[in-house]
């Protein structure tokens, strides 16, 4: 039965690091650009949660602010 089969494609990929950049924040999203002729561009979006209100009594009621780039 065709529905019972699972296809799998294995690819050998070689990575070549051209540049390293310290983002300071944790990586939230890393994606290749889908638009030609920019498909070679990798974009990294980052943010960190603002913990300055973490110890307040109303911390559960506050919308948590994001610090990002």
Give the pLDDT confidence of 7-55 residue by residue, as tens digits.
667 777 787 887 777 777 776 788 888 999 998 888 878 777 777 766 6
Full-model pTM: 0.37
Peptide bond into 37 cis (omega under 30): yes
Any idea what DSSP says for residue 31?
Answer: E
Please report the pLDDT score of residue 19 as a whole number: 79
Question: Of 51, 48, 67, which is closest to residue 59 (Cα–Cα)?
Answer: 51
Please report the pLDDT score of residue 37 as a whole number: 93
Please say whether the beta carbons of 65 and 48 come within 8 A: no
Looking at the DSSP bridge assignments, the partners of residue 6 are none
């Amino acid at each position: 039965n065709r529905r019972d089969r699972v296809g799998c494609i294995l690819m050998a990929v070689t990575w070549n690091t051209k540049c390293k950049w310290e983002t300071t924040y944790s990586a939230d999203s890393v994606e290749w650009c889908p638009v030609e002729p920019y498909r070679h561009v990798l974009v990294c979006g980052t943010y960190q949660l603002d913990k300055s209100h973490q110890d307040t009594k109303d911390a559960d009621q506050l919308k948590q602010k994001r610090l990002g780039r």
